[in-house]
Structure 1
Amino acid sequence: MDPFLTLLHSFSSGLLEQELLSLKFLCREKIGKRKLECVQSGVELFNLLLEQQLIARDRVDFLEGLLRSIKREDLISQLKQFVDEGEVSAPGDQPDAHERRLQKAAIEVICEYVGKDWRMLVRKLGVSEVKIERIVAAYPLNLREQLFQSLQEWQKWKGKDAKVTDLIKALRGCRMNLVADKIEEALLRLNAGAN
């Protein structure tokens, strides 16, 4: 199965009716009005864009512009991941529910207590400089959101191999021991509450 078509299909299933209407409107100059009137889903719209060669596996600028126009930063992020890595991680490549709960708690603590030195932490986790700069550009005035998005990027990149223990180890490696201690305390409370 073509990973690009899989990505477009996942975009389509995540579009709201109003977003599809907006996309159709934005494509009026490129696709005839009659063809657009027949479009009932994102898949149909993407199919027309593929036929017109406005989008392709190696030509995503037009698609990115469309997604930016409807303010779907989440889809833009997936598209950029696809471009960077050639594919989007499959759902089976995600951590289990328990690990996701632990990660969520750890990320909340990190976002609360790690300040301007957040780049050192995400570099220690292995997030690339290109991705860091892209996130900073997307959220130029929001330090907390930059950190949060960088941690999300790390989670997507690592998939099921993203572990809270890696977060704690990276924090300790950056001499952010207080934050690491707070995460361990939060995890103890979370685990005690689960039992």
Structure 2
Amino acid sequence: MDPFLTLLNAFSSSLSEPELAALKFLCRGEVTKRKLESVQSGRDLFGFLLEQQLIASDKVSFLEELLKNIKREDLVSQLKQFVEEGGVTAPDDQPDVHEKRLQKAAIEIICDNVGRDWKMLMRKLDVSEVKLERIVAANPFNLHEQLLQSLREWQKWKGREAKVADLIKALRACNMNLVADKVENKVLQLNTGTR
């Protein structure tokens, strides 16, 4: 699989509707109006930019300018990392199947039990303020979704290093011991159930 396409696909998934609308507007001089009208996702737009050879794995300046214009510095830094490393993080950077199952259960418990103090938890997990603000802006009136998206962002960022033990440690550091206990109990159930 082409690492550049994987990167563009990841970018597409993280774009909000207003960000996609802004990108379409910025591409008006490069992509025909008819094509822009048919764009429903970042993937569609990136596909047209690839076709017109405005972007490629070795030609990212146009894409970088677009991302800077919509204030997505997080994506700009991922793009720069891609260029520096000559590729993106491989699938083997993902947690194993068992750890993913534990994370899924832990995240469900955290989302159901952590309330307005969710940002404190995310800060303990070292998720950046910029990412938190973007998630809040994308889900302004949905606390549950804000927390869920933040935890997913943490998982993506940490990759293989994302561990349920880190979630429990962060919960305890925030004095959310009841939630930490619930997560530990669920992990224990899942671990004894798999043996």
TM-score (norm 2): 0.69
* Aligned-pair CA distance for 1:192: 2.2
| Aligned mates of 1:192, 1:35 — CA distance in 2 | 54
One-letter amino acid of the structure 2 residue matched with residue 46 of structure 1: L
Distance 1:55 1:49, change over 3 A: farther
Match of 1:127 in 2: 127
SS of 1:185's partner is helix
Match of 1:70 in 2: none
* Aligned-pair CA distance for 1:47: 1.6
**Correspondence 1:1-195 to 2 at 5 A:** 4=4, 6-8=6-8, 10=9, 30-32=30-32, 45-51=48-54, 56-61=62-67, 81-85=74-78, 86-87=81-82, 89-195=89-195
Distance 1:134 1:89, change over 3 A: farther
Distance 1:4 1:170, change over 3 A: same
Tell me if the contact between 1:54 and 1:62 (Cα under 8 Å) persists in the aligned partners: no
Distance 1:83 1:33, change over 3 A: closer
SS of 1:155's partner is helix
Percent pairwise identity: 56
TM-score (norm 1): 0.69
Tell me if the contact between 2:67 and 2:75 (Cα under 8 Å) persists in the aligned partners: no
Structure 1 gaps of 5+ residues are 15-24, 65-78
Structure 2 gaps of 5+ residues are 14-23, 37-42, 83-87
Tell me if the contact between 1:4 and 1:57 (Cα under 8 Å) persists in the aligned partners: no
Distance 1:32 1:118, change over 3 A: closer
| Aligned mates of 1:163, 1:54 — CA distance in 2 | 33
| Aligned mates of 2:51, 2:69 — CA distance in 1 | 12
Greater shift, 181-190 or 45-54, is seen at 45-54
Tell me if the contact between 2:31 and 2:48 (Cα under 8 Å) persists in the aligned partners: no
Match of 1:18 in 2: none
SS of 2:185's partner is helix
| Aligned mates of 2:34, 2:183 — CA distance in 1 | 57
* Aligned-pair CA distance for 1:32: 4.5
Greater shift, 166-175 or 55-64, is seen at 55-64
SS of 1:60's partner is helix
Distance 1:35 1:54, change over 3 A: farther
| Aligned mates of 1:93, 1:184 — CA distance in 2 | 24
| Aligned mates of 2:62, 2:119 — CA distance in 1 | 33
| Aligned mates of 1:57, 1:130 — CA distance in 2 | 20
Please provide the CA RMSD for this pair.
3.7
SS of 2:186's partner is helix
